[in-house]
Structures are given as C-alpha cells and as structure tokens.
Structure 1
Amino acid sequence: KGWILDTRHPNVVKLAQSKGGGCEPEQHYALWKRLHRHLDKHTVLQESFMKFIDACIDQSEKDRWLSKLENSNWLLHVKEALTVACIVAQTIDREETSVLVHGSDGWDTTLLVTSLAQVLLHPDCRTITGFEALIEREWIQAGHQFRSRCARSAFGKSSRGQESPLFTLFLDCTWQLLQQFACSFEFNDTLLIQLFEHTYSSKFGTFIFNNEKEKTKYNAVKKTVSLWSYFNRPEILRTFLNPFYEPNLNVLWPSVAAQSIILWRSLYLRFYENQIPQQEAWDEYLIIKEKELQLRSYVNKLRQELLELERKCTEKNSNMIKMEKDSITTA
C-alpha cells in the first residue's frame, strides 16, 4: 500500500504505455494510488536556465529585467520541484505510507524529488556530512549523468545534447529552504555555491562521470581526488558552518507560494552586484559569534571552578564537624 508519484507528462506516460511499458503493472500495485505531478524534462530546464542567466546578465532596465526573469520560468521550476517534494514528505510523514517516485529515466527528476524530500524529512540531511552523503547516495551513486548534464559551463548558451541544470535546480531548492529555515541547517550558502562551482569545474573526480561503471572503468578512485576530502578539511569546513544552526528534529514545511520563492542573488548575481557589504557584515557576525563561544566557555570554566570550591568547602566543613564530635566523645 502506498503512492506512485509520476513526474512525467501524461502524454509521455500514454506513449510509453502504447509501447507496452511506462507504468508499474496494476497486479503488482493493486492497493497503490497514483498521482501525476509533471516536472519538465531536462531540455526544457536547459532552455529555461539559459533565458534565466541572460536575464541575470542584462540589468540595463529594471522593468525589462524583471520581465525576462519571469519569462524564463526558472523560479517556477524551483516552485514546482519544492511542491512535489512536499507532497512526498507529507505522504510519508502524515499518512505513514511509502512513495514510489517514477520519472522518465530515473536519474533526473526522480533524484531531484527524492533528495529534496529527504532534506525536508530527515534532520541528518541538513548537516554538512549528512548533506554530502545525500548527494553521494541520491545523485552520484544513483546515476545522475553529471558528465553529460554538466558538459559545459552553467552560464553557457548551448541547448544541444544532454546538458541540463538538474543539480543546480536541487541546489537552488535547498537554498530556498535555507532562507525559510535559517536555523535548521548546519551549513550556509557558501557550501551550496561551492557545490555549484565544482559541478562544472572538473577539478575533482566527484562530478565528472555519468555513473559508477564509468568511475570503475577509468579508475576514478586512484586517478582523481574526491571533493568531499577537500570540503572536510578543517580550514575549509569552517567556512561552511552556519552560526545560527540549532538542530531541528521536526519535518520542514516550506511555503511554496510564488512570493516565497526568491532569486538566489549571491550565486546568480555575484558577478554583477557588490557582495562586499554582505560579506563584511557576515564576517563581523562570525567574529561576534566566536567571542560569544569563548565567553560561554570561560563562564562554564568558572562554574566548574565554583562547584569545585563549593565541594571542597563542604568537605572541609564535614571534616571539622566530625573532628568536633570525636573530641566531645573522647572527653
């Protein structure tokens, strides 16, 4: 018993059924309910992202810029992806039933929905190591074709081939959650921006293969360096930490209203807007937070010393009382 959530367009499903496939056999899923929530395929996303980047670059006229942003439909894709992920999370959490997510090939929108649903449901996926493990498990090992999907720069204008910003869409959706639940994530958006950059940089071996078979064929373990080994170096890891973080064991229920989905300016406009004031304010806050931690540590140390003094005083008083009793008894 459960739900089958299909991210394909109904016409695609009918076409696949006409060829003898396309859906799970009814006899095997007799008690399962079916729900279609269409998410656009990779070619549509690539076209949308190209228009979106063009809009971000062209800021000559504000009205025109806003119109181009809206017409790109990129933020609409973000909204739809989060909406479908919320449906999955709600079904699992509230109805306590299983969900089977069905996409065209199983390595694009399927992974997008399942990974976002886990971020909503599991607090561990909102930690740095948990988020890294999620990407490794749900995207890399599950076979998202990073080599094909991220063949050129994300800001390139190629609409040919297999390129598509599916993983960028996942990062954008995660950033939206980070904005709405700023204290529920151990990491800040620096981690997300670094992931975006290294998805295309080919500096590490983590995102340059389509699947595990290719990694084995080219001996990736020995010939390339893992991005996670770089991220988890103490001096790098420190830059990813969110000082507002407080572990939240609850499921996240974000707003997916149009006004709640905002532009990720620190990524898409970082070359066109001055980021220094925000960075300076952030650095100042980190300094204050570090001083606060030092003061808290010092206060805890003083408390321990006070408790030790109280213990010694109590022990000394007990010994004095005992000595007085012994002297009275002797007399």
Structure 2
Amino acid sequence: MSDIKAGNHFKSYLDIDEDDFVDLELGVNDVSHVLKPRLLAGELTVAEANSVLMFAPLTDGNKGKTGLLAVTNFKVTFITSDTKESNCDNTYQQNALLGENDICLSNIDTIYTLGDKKRRLIRGQTIHSKVKGLFIVCKNMKTVSFSFKFTPINEAKAITLSILHHAFPTVHTRLFAYDYNEPYYPQYNCAMFSNRADWHNELIRLETPGWRCSSVNSSYDISLTLPSTLIVPANVLDSRLIEAARHFRCGAIPIYVWGNRQGCALVRMSDIHPTMSDRTQENAMLENVRSAHPQKKQPVVLDLTKDLPSAKELYNSYLKLKDLCTPDSLRQFGIQDSKLLSLLDSSRWQNYVSMCLAIASQAADSLCSGSTVVLQEGDGRDIICVISSLTQILVDPHYRTINGFQSLIQKDWVALGHPFCDRLGHVIVQDTIMAPYLLLFLDCVWQITQQLPTALEMSETYLTTLWDSAHLTIFDTFIFNSEHQRRTSQPPLVLRSVWDWGEQYNEKDIALFANPLFTPKYIVQRNSVRPLDLQAMDMQKPNVNLISKHLEMRLGSLSMLSPMKVGKIPPPVPPKPANRDKKIINNAMEKMLENRIRISHKLVNLEIWSQCYFRFMPILEIKSGGKVQIDIQNRILVGNINEMYSTLATGETFKAENGHNYSTVNSFFPFSKSDDSRLSDLIALSTSLREDVMCDSQSLLNAPD
C-alpha cells in the first residue's frame, strides 16, 4: 500500500473536467498507478481500474474520493493514498480481513450501472456501451457508488465484467475458502457438534431421560442433511429409524435437540413426503416420542408451515426491507422517509419477527408445562431453525451466554443442515431461493436484548457483526448446506470457524461483543427486570458481597431509565404435576420456570434494528448522541465498580471516571467513525470486571419517524 500522503479527499466532482481532476486530485503523477491492494494469503488480483471516483452514500455525487478500484478472488477493494490514515480511528470497528473500503464478493447482492437510467446487471450479461459508473448494493445493506468519468473505457468495462463474474459464482469451489491458505490455529471455545462426543455431552448436561445417541447416520445413508450423530428415542432400534426415514422429506425423522430432567423434550422433524398419503410412519414415530416421556404425555405438535413465511415469502420481505434501507439518492431517501412506517409494514418483516417470537413463546410455555414439543416443517431445515433456537434461548440460560449462543447455532443451524450456501446466496444455483433466515433469527434475538437488557450476554454489536461475518467466505461456518457437504467437499479445505473472532478483530473490538449489564440470573416481573444474583458472576476478588450489592443497586436504577418496551405479561403459573410424590419432577419444573424468560411479541413492543439496517446511511446518524450514550454510561459504571474493587484490596484512593468525557461517540458506534480515541481505555477498564465476559456496546438507536 502506498505511503503517499494527501489532503482531504472529499471534494465535489459534479462540474469539473478531466484536466481539473488531474490538477486537483492527482497532481503531475497519477498515484493510482502506485497504489496496490492489500492481498491475503491465496488472494489474487483479477482486474484493476485507475482514476475511479467513489462517492459517499446519499451525497448525489457531491462528495467522494479518487483512487484505484480492484477486484480479487475475494473482494472488491478501493484504495486511496490516505487509506492507511483513515484506518487509525480507534472507535471504528476494524476487520483484519477487510478494509474500510473493501466488500467481500459474497456480500454483493445487486449491481447497477449508473448513467441516464439505473440498470441492473446480471451475471453473463454482455456490456456493449460505455460504463459510466456502478452502484453496488450489499446483503448487509451497505451501498457504494463508483464513477468511471476519468477511467479508461477498457478498464471500466473490464472491472465491471470481473465483478459480475466473481460476485455470483456457480460453483462452490470458486469461494475464497478454497484458496485462502493462511495457517490456522483454532482458538474457539464452544461446542461444534461435529462429533458424537458433543451430542453425548449435551444429553448429559440436560439429563433428559428416554433418549439416546445413535450413529445410524454415520455414513449419511438415512439423510444427507442431518448430522452423523442423532439423539433419538431410547426405545427405538436403528433398523426402525432406517425404515421410517424413507417416509420423511430429506430423511429428517424426529430428533431431540433439547430437554430437561422432567422428561419434556424439544423435537424437530420434517414433513412426510408429498407423494405419500399414508401417515402411519409419522404417527408411529410420534408415538415413540410420546413413549420417551416419563409420564407418557402426548406431545404438542406445531406445524410451522401454516403461519410462518416460506423461503420465497421471506425473500420477498427481505427485498422490500433492503430497498427501504439502500436508497441511491437523497430524493429517493426523502420519498421513503416520508412513508417509512407504511413501507416497513408492507415488507411484513416486523410481522415475521413477531410471529417467530410468538410461536417460540408458545413452544416455551408448553415445555414449561411439562409437555414435549415437536416442531414440524417441510424439509426441516429453514424456519424450524429459527423457532427451535429462540425456544431454547427462552428456557435455557446456557444459550444466553456467548459461548452457549455460538454452540446453539452450531447445533441447530450448522449441524442440523440449514442450507446456508443457498439461503445466503453464496453460490448461484438454478431453482434455489435465497432467504435470510439467519437475519430473521438475529433480529428476534435483538428484540430480546431490547426488552430484557440484562438477560443476554450477546450485545447488539455482536449480533450485527455476526450478520456481517455470515458473508465472509473465509470461514466454513456459513458456506455449506450440510455437514455431509462440508465433509465431502473437494478439494479439501481448511475449516476455519467464524467463532475464532481473533481472526478478524483485535481485543478492543471483541470486548464490545458482550453486554456489561448481563446477569446470569434475574427475576422477570410485570414490566420490569431486576438483577437477582450478581454473585453468580464469579468475581474472584475480596469484598464481593459489598460490590455485588452496590452493582445491583446501581444497575437496578439504570434499568428503570432504559427505554425498555416490555408487554404486560404475567409470570407463568407453575403447573400441578400428575404425581406429587415425584420430587425430581417438581424440582425440574421449578428450575425450568425460574430459568424461563418472557417477552412480548406484539408489534407495538417491537423496534427497528437501526444499527444493523441503517448504519450505512450517515444522514440518519446522531452525532455525539443516540441511545449508545446509555451504553457508554453503563460501561463507565462497570469500570468504576471494577476500579473500586481493585482499590479495596490495595488501599489506594479511588477516582471515578467522568462519563461526560466520552460524549463524542456517534449513534452508529462502532460502525461509524467518531472522534474519541480514549474509548479504548474505557473498554479495557470495564472488561476486567469479569474474566469470562467481555464488554459490550449496546447501541440502542431510535428509528426515524
């Protein structure tokens, strides 16, 4: 990368000619020719275009930079002489694999040519006329505009064709994961559910009677979409499972994903083959599920295809949401802004979020009443992943931690065969439908963080970053359709987990992934949430009771000031066990009800995930404001308590941090640039409160009216 320094590159290019451009921006020598993209191991440059203009979003060509536009087998990258300087903002999330002006090829959703009329380009299209510019829309709502006004015609055409060809591959081996050859040393700390031991350990952790681990699918003879290890009813022989699998779509027989000591279980299954009218095999398998329950209770079967969106419906909803979040001009933004709520309502995105939360709550209630719940859906790979995961978050505190949440995605999404490659559009295959079920799930989880600020360890920044990482084709986590496809991929590739966050981010950015208000145990009352047991945070320091009590008092008052929107949902009434002599059942019921969290699924109580959807529209950002300021004050509070903690042991004088010193952070932090480099010290201070939990940036943003 060039070390040439330049002045401010934000200039107006509306009414200048080529000679003016050379004099103003490049001087005597065209620095584009000495700029080169930063390449990763295995990354190759495919095409380059010099003297390209990149415009800032929603500036209508009034502000931009000049530089080199390049396409590699991994990304589209724009390089200017001041790129190195622009990456020095300590408050801006910096990815070690992608620069600020880089776009992973798999993140590109649509490409338009700019000129008299905006036209969409498709793969394989022949370009006859001169390309004046490009407008690229990404799957994570990012947009970039390029002008080729001063670029040689042949370079502009070549760069356009290269982007079209490499952004929409038709073969899986064209993904960069097959080319990336950087040495990899796994550091992740979550269960991957890629072997029998992980499934066995999960069954032991949950202590659910009546179920066993089976290797009947070890050769993937039963199902190509299910993992090699399955948890099935203990009273069913493998030979019976093989026979039944032929009647289910994708061979997805009823399998266990969660349960408790009381004996109730959460089970997933697909529908019967559409060519079969006889449902005898389905009824027989459901009878086996019923028999696995200690009290032989009839399971509650939830057909998810009745009310929840199909892949096509979800994709259409996503398209409307994306159009709302990616205007190409100030005029379009103004039109959309004037009718934002009606456009959002017509997309039905919030409706789908509401439906998922409602059905997950229904499933959680049934589990808490002691009944087994069976989730059923088409192939058993799409919306069932959303409902199953949400249900487990509502009933199991383990999945509300970062490690538990990552294990949950590995189990219910990766291992159980959610077709990430198809649904995220990594490879273009005929008759496949893109549908961002993962984004729908993350939005639902985000709604929980807004209603219950102390319930989840995952921060808003973590959830947004996870959605961005789903489009990075370096990691294997989200690029395969099944465990079978991952294991049989040719040529073999190094399996890099996205949960190794150190591969992408430094400690400062990773520290923002955890919620500083996270409380492992708490009581949910009507319209309120308060900490219950802060000693469970395992703070191995002196005077822990005094500090915990102080923290509980302070966080309790803060929660009253937080903009929570919790519906008036009464606490659940413990059901009466059939046999009161079974103490183990009573204890399991009490523990489950204690762990259960309740949220409102009503539309009036849902918010728009502004950080994820609007962060690439600077016009919506609040300078030195927004709900992110609440998060900063929470961090300062935790940091002060941690500092006071240390001084109690040393006898030193405690000096509280002043929260007014950090008011320069903007509302889309850390996805926009701010002016305060001291924030890194604040993050480090609050991080050391707990060794097992990093700090969080819950950027709670208001949606525009």
- Give the alignment's TM-score, normalised by structure 1: 0.78
- Once residues 4 and 236 of structure 1 are traced to their aligned partners in structure 2, the CA distance between those partners, rounded to angstroms, is 35
Report how far residue 286 of structure 1 moved: 2.5
- Once residues 86 and 185 of structure 1 are traced to their aligned partners in structure 2, the CA distance between those partners, rounded to angstroms, is 16
Segment of structure 1 superposing worse, 284-293 or 65-74: 284-293
CA RMSD across the alignment: 3.3
Report how far residue 295 of structure 1 moved: 1.1
- Aligned position for 2:364: 89
Q: Does 1:245 align with 2:522?
A: no
- Cα distance change of structure 1 residues 84 and 106 upon mapping to structure 2, 3 Å threshold: same
- Cα distance change of structure 1 residues 33 and 254 upon mapping to structure 2, 3 Å threshold: closer
- Once residues 597 and 280 of structure 2 are traced to their aligned partners in structure 1, the CA distance between those partners, rounded to angstroms, is 32
Q: Does 1:110 align with 2:384?
A: yes
Q: Deviations over 1:286-313 (max 9, x none)?
A: 244323211123225559xxxxxxxxxx
- Aligned position for 1:213: 484
- Cα distance change of structure 1 residues 138 and 63 upon mapping to structure 2, 3 Å threshold: same
Segment of structure 1 superposing worse, 243-252 or 180-189: 243-252
Structure 1: runs of 5+ lacking an equivalent: 154-158, 304-331
The answer (yes or no) to whether the contact 2:300–2:372 under 8 Å persists in 1 is no
Segment of structure 1 superposing worse, 26-35 or 118-127: 26-35
- Cα distance change of structure 1 residues 218 and 261 upon mapping to structure 2, 3 Å threshold: same
- Aligned position for 1:181: 452
Report how far residue 185 of structure 1 moved: 1.1
The answer (yes or no) to whether the contact 2:395–2:597 under 8 Å persists in 1 is yes
- Cα distance change of structure 1 residues 217 and 7 upon mapping to structure 2, 3 Å threshold: closer
Q: Residue 229 of structure 1 is aligned with which of 488, 494, 500?
A: 500
- Aligned position for 1:314: none
> Which aligned pairs between 1:109-188 and structure 2 lie closer than 5 A?
109-151=383-425, 161-188=432-459
The answer (yes or no) to whether the contact 1:205–1:224 under 8 Å persists in 2 is yes
- Cα distance change of structure 1 residues 90 and 23 upon mapping to structure 2, 3 Å threshold: farther
Q: Residue 635 of structure 2 is aligned with which of 270, 281, 286?
A: 286
- Aligned position for 1:100: 374
The answer (yes or no) to whether the contact 1:6–1:34 under 8 Å persists in 2 is no
- Cα distance change of structure 1 residues 264 and 294 upon mapping to structure 2, 3 Å threshold: same
Segment of structure 1 superposing worse, 203-212 or 111-120: 203-212
Q: Which has the higher helix share?
A: 1
SS of the aligned residue for 2:334 comes to: coil
- Once residues 378 and 608 of structure 2 are traced to their aligned partners in structure 1, the CA distance between those partners, rounded to angstroms, is 28
- Cα distance change of structure 1 residues 209 and 188 upon mapping to structure 2, 3 Å threshold: same
SS of the aligned residue for 1:187 comes to: coil
- Aligned position for 1:80: 355
Equivalent position amino acid for 1:91 in 2: S
- Once residues 203 and 275 of structure 1 are traced to their aligned partners in structure 2, the CA distance between those partners, rounded to angstroms, is 34
SS of the aligned residue for 1:205 comes to: coil
Q: Does 1:270 align with 2:615?
A: yes
- Aligned position for 2:466: 195
Asked which structure has the greater RCO (Cα within 8 Å, sep 6+), the reply is 1
Q: Deviations over 1:179-200 (max 9, x none)?
A: 0110111121111011101112
Report how far residue 32 of structure 1 moved: 3.9
SS of the aligned residue for 1:100 comes to: strand
SS of the aligned residue for 1:88 comes to: helix
Q: Deviations over 1:184-240 (max 9, x none)?
A: 111211110111011122232211111111211237995242111226975443121
Structure 2: runs of 5+ lacking an equivalent: 1-262, 291-297, 328-332, 522-593, 653-705
- Cα distance change of structure 1 residues 213 and 28 upon mapping to structure 2, 3 Å threshold: closer
Q: Does 1:40 align with 2:314?
A: no
Q: Does 1:254 align with 2:599?
A: yes
The answer (yes or no) to whether the contact 1:89–1:120 under 8 Å persists in 2 is yes
Q: Does 1:66 align with 2:371?
A: no
- Once residues 281 and 312 of structure 2 are traced to their aligned partners in structure 1, the CA distance between those partners, rounded to angstroms, is 22
- Cα distance change of structure 1 residues 296 and 104 upon mapping to structure 2, 3 Å threshold: same
- Aligned position for 2:645: 296
Equivalent position amino acid for 1:274 in 2: E
Report how far residue 3 of structure 1 moved: 9.6
Equivalent position amino acid for 2:513 in 1: F
SS of the aligned residue for 2:512 comes to: helix
Segment of structure 1 superposing worse, 124-133 or 37-46: 37-46
- Once residues 350 and 461 of structure 2 are traced to their aligned partners in structure 1, the CA distance between those partners, rounded to angstroms, is 20
Q: Which has the higher strand share?
A: 2
The answer (yes or no) to whether the contact 2:301–2:374 under 8 Å persists in 1 is no
Equivalent position amino acid for 1:257 in 2: K
Report how far residue 281 of structure 1 moved: 5.8
- Cα distance change of structure 1 residues 79 and 216 upon mapping to structure 2, 3 Å threshold: same
- Once residues 632 and 414 of structure 2 are traced to their aligned partners in structure 1, the CA distance between those partners, rounded to angstroms, is 33
- Once residues 6 and 217 of structure 1 are traced to their aligned partners in structure 2, the CA distance between those partners, rounded to angstroms, is 25
Q: Deviations over 1:120-155 (max 9, x none)?
A: 0111111111111111111111111111110159xx
The answer (yes or no) to whether the contact 1:4–1:33 under 8 Å persists in 2 is no
- Aligned position for 2:189: none
Equivalent position amino acid for 1:161 in 2: T
- Corresponding pairs, count: 294
- Cα distance change of structure 1 residues 69 and 23 upon mapping to structure 2, 3 Å threshold: farther
The answer (yes or no) to whether the contact 2:353–2:440 under 8 Å persists in 1 is yes
Q: Residue 52 of structure 1 is aligned with which of 318, 321, 324?
A: 321
SS of the aligned residue for 2:621 comes to: coil
The answer (yes or no) to whether the contact 1:187–1:241 under 8 Å persists in 2 is yes
